[in-house]
Chains A and B, each alone.
With several copies, the nearest count.
Chain A
């Protein structure tokens, strides 16, 4: 299990390739990548604040919960904080499992919990100023399925 919280960009292709390489013990690798999305065409930057003492511990607890629920070969979580431009990658998760259903379920579980239970807060900067991204009821409701 590998959990990283960092300001620096990460190399998604290299991370995904290294995670999936040489695994004859698993048949399925799922990755999820979150990207700074610009719906309005007016987004200048996204700033992500986090809780330095708590973040890594909270993510590790979520990943351990996933490892306990599904038969996984490995889990990777990388999550950035700080300033990012539209199109930049915010975070990724990767799961490896003998069977695809486990790899998919664990990746979706990780994403649902990272969205609402890991201490990150997003702020969007547009031409009209800066605004905190509000949590959605859909994101909170997504936890109910696990």
Chain B
């Protein structure tokens, strides 16, 4: 499937891109993270510690074990600091 990936804050800075389009068969967000980590060192650095990361699937906050079936956009970012 084709997924739009988007990155925010220091995830964006470590990867060096605000987003990209990928082809993947990963069944879950966690499986997608494994694929990304294996690509290049900058991805391994950005995704080194999942407990420091949050994700959203199609613009809704999600857990890393969320299924990607039917998803179009996955976002990765640090814990939010609004308000």
Contacts and interface: CB of A to CB of B under 8 A. Distances in A.
Contact of A121 (B61, B73, B80): B80
B59 A121 contact: no
A121 B8 contact: yes
A121 B83 contact: no
Contacts, number: 71
Contacts of B80: 115-121, 135
Interface residues on chain A, size class: 20 to 34
Contacts of A111: 83
A57 B59 contact: yes
Given A51-B77, A115-B83, A132-B78, A121 B56 contact: no
Interface of B: 6, 8-10, 56, 59-61, 73, 75, 77-83
Given A49-B9, A91-B82, 8 more contacts: A90-B83, A116-B79, A117-B80, A118-B80, A120-B82, A121-B80, A134-B81, A135-B81
